[in-house]
Amino acid sequence: MNFQLTEEHLMIQQAARDFAQNELLPGVIDRDTHEKFPAEQIKKMGELGFMGMMVDPKYGGAGLDTISYVLAMEEISKVDASASVCMSVNNSLVCWGLEKFGTEEQKQKYLVPLAKGEIIGAFCLSEPEAGSDATSQKTTAIDMGDYYLLNGTKNWITNGSSASVYLVMAQTHPEKGHRGINCLIVERGMEGFVIGKKEEKMGIRGSDTHSLMFTDVKVPKENRIGEDGFGFKFAMKTLSGGRIGIAAQALGIASGAYELALKYSKERKAFGKEIYKHQAIAFKLADMATEIEAARLMTLRAAWLKDQGLPFDKESAMAKLFASEVAMKTTIEAVQIHGGYGYVKEFHVERLMRDAKITQIYEGTSEIQRIVISRAILDQQ
């Protein structure tokens, strides 16, 4: 066992921390208030290699491990969870899925620009009536010989209007249930593909979340990922890795709020002394620090398992479940420690509290993680 980060890991962590402080922090409140997508900042993140961190350099990526990705995600998420969700989807759902299961042609055409951050990707599984119950896909992809005819609606799609490439799950053989689902690569601008309304959200308000409509979109056969009917497995395998990214995001939101609360508690005085000298506050900080450390270890372990090529489905679900609950709890306490200041935008913690909530919902709710974990532990008996 070795808990030591390498020199390279520390450098990446520092680079992400510097970027977050210098480039994301200025303007983050404004982007949240006015629901502005951090387009310029994401472009710079691409140039720095943060958008295709784990992709092989021969496909334009940074060729780093999942641990590096977790470290960078934590630092970016401490400051701007809207930027980090864009980064997470591009890295772990889109790039990873394409690199692992795409054809050489698909990699050259789509993965290379995605990994370089020249374009952004989106992952389209959720539908108005298929969120947690992801096998009930109503979007259809009818086999027309050399193309699929795509019809349906997708909901709550991250990077909805800023993406150029969309991985869309759709049902081709309803009689086969989840084994009839395919994943198709859809390009922005394909005829019949319309970007629907932007969601007005509680948190991660800088990220652009849209519904998408497909009406008789002709998607070439060569844009299918994997064998006929592989789409659901593709989505599940990809989401399993995605959950490490969201665990890291939750961890970052929690540690960002904790750091702000710690700093504030040393500055603010009440009843004649700094508030951290009151046990009520010191104990809150102790609990926050302990839980964040546990979430960090769980997330890094899931990342390490993935890097070793070992099974990690259960561990990524556990990390996401735990880290997202810690994010919610920690951000609520950070607002409490800030008192009245915590309730206003200027002090950042109210935003972090609103941002934390989504980590318990997307890429599988806490309840879905408990399904995945309970099945895994029961199967082991």
Stretch that binds ligand COS, among 45-53, 235-243, 278-286, 349-357 (CB under 6 A): 235-243
Least distance (Å) from ligand COS to the CB of residue 98? 16
CA torsion sign, 375 to 227 to 223 to 47? positive
Least distance (Å) from ligand COS to the CB of residue 34? 24
Least distance (Å) from ligand COS to the CB of residue 203? 14
Stretch that binds ligand COS, among 40-48, 64-72, 199-207, 237-245 (CB under 6 A): 237-245
What span, in angstroms and rounded, lies between the C-alpha atoms of 7 and 2? 14
Nearer to ligand COS, 1 or 378 (CB): 378
Structure token pair of residue 59:
């496909």
Nearer to ligand COS, 132 or 290 (CB): 132
Instruction: Estimate to the nearest angstrom the gap between the alpha carbon of 97 and the chain centroid.
Output: 14
Structure token pair of residue 296:
């960090």
Using CB under 6 A, pick the residue from 239, 303, 321, 349 that binds ligand COS.
Answer: 239
| Helix (H) / strand (E) containing 215 | strand 209-220
Contact (CB, 8 A) for 138 and 65:
no
Using CB under 6 A, pick the residue from 50, 193, 214, 232 that binds ligand COS.
Answer: 232
What span, in angstroms and rounded, lies between the C-alpha atoms of 321 and 28? 26
Q: Does 236 bind ligand COS (CB under 6 A)?
A: yes
Nearer to ligand COS, 72 or 181 (CB): 181
**Which alpha helices (DSSP H) does 55-211 contain, by range?**
66-79, 81-88, 96-101, 104-106, 112-115
What span, in angstroms and rounded, lies between the C-alpha atoms of 123 and 148? 18
Q: Does 231 bind ligand COS (CB under 6 A)?
A: no
Least distance (Å) from ligand COS to the CB of residue 332? 23
| b/e sequence 302-314, b meaning 16+ C-beta within 10 Å | bbbbbbeeeebbb
* Helices and strands (H, E) in the chain, number of each type: 13, 9
Q: Is 191 a catalytic residue?
A: no
Q: Does 134 bind ligand COS (CB under 6 A)?
A: yes
Beta bridge partners of 181: 171
Q: Does 178 bind ligand COS (CB under 6 A)?
A: yes
Nearer to ligand COS, 13 or 88 (CB): 88
- Give helix 349-359 / helix 81-88 axis angle, nearest 10°: 30
Using CB under 6 A, pick the residue from 76, 98, 115, 368 that binds ligand COS.
Answer: 368
Least distance (Å) from ligand COS to the CB of residue 369? 9
Site size toward ligand COS, by CB under 6 A: 21
Burial grade of 338 (CB within 10 A; 0-12, 13-18, 19 or more) = buried
Least distance (Å) from ligand COS to the CB of residue 143? 20
Considering only residues 70 through 129, tell me which ones interact with ligand COS, judged by CB under 6 A.
125-126
Q: Does 363 bind ligand COS (CB under 6 A)?
A: yes
Q: Which residues bind ligand COS (CB under 6 A)?
A: 125-126, 131-132, 134-135, 178-179, 232-233, 236-237, 239-240, 313, 362-364, 368, 371-372
Give catalytic residues, as residue numbers: 363
